[in-house]
Amino acid sequence: MTGVANQRMSVLFVCLGNICRSPMAEGAFRAAAHHAGLDCIVDSAGTASYHLGDAPDHRAIAVARAHGIEIGGQAARQIKVQDFHRFDHIIAMDSANLEGIKARAPRDGTARISMLFDAVAGREGVSVPDPYHGTADDFSNTWIEINEGVTGLVQQLRAEIAGLMR
Ligand code: 4NP
Q: Is 21 a catalytic residue?
A: yes
33 burial via Cβ count (<10 Å: 0-12, 13-18, 19+): buried
Would you say the CB of residue 78 lies under 6 angstroms from ligand 1? no
The per-residue pLDDT of the chain, averaged, comes to 95
Mean pLDDT score, 13-32: 98
Contact residues for 67 (Cβ-Cβ < 8 A; gap 6+): 28, 143
Q: Is 158 a catalytic residue?
A: no
Would you say the CB of residue 60 lies under 6 angstroms from ligand 1? no
The domain ranges of the chain are: 9-161
CA distance to 29, 35, 98, per residue, from 15 (Å): 15, 24, 9
Give me ligand 1 centre to Cα 75, in Å.
14
Give me ligand 1 centre to Cα 17, in Å.
4
Asked whether 91 and 11 are in contact (CB, 8 A), the reply is yes
Give me ligand 1 centre to Cα 130, in Å.
7
> Treating both helix axes as pointing N-terminal to C-terminal, what angle do 136-165 and 58-66 enclose, rounded to 10 degrees?
60
* pTM of the model as a whole: 0.95
Distance, CA of 149 to CA of 59 (rounded, Å): 20
Mean pLDDT score, 33-61: 97
**Fold of the 9-161 domain:** Rossmann fold (3.40.50)
Residue nearest to atom 12 of ligand 1 (CA): 17
93-146 confidence digits (pLDDT tens): 999 999 999 999 999 999 999 999 999 999 999 999 999 999 999 999 999 999
Confidence of residue 4 (pLDDT cuts 50, 70, 90): very low
Distance, CA of 53 to CA of 74 (rounded, Å): 9
Q: What is the per-residue pLDDT for 73? A: 98
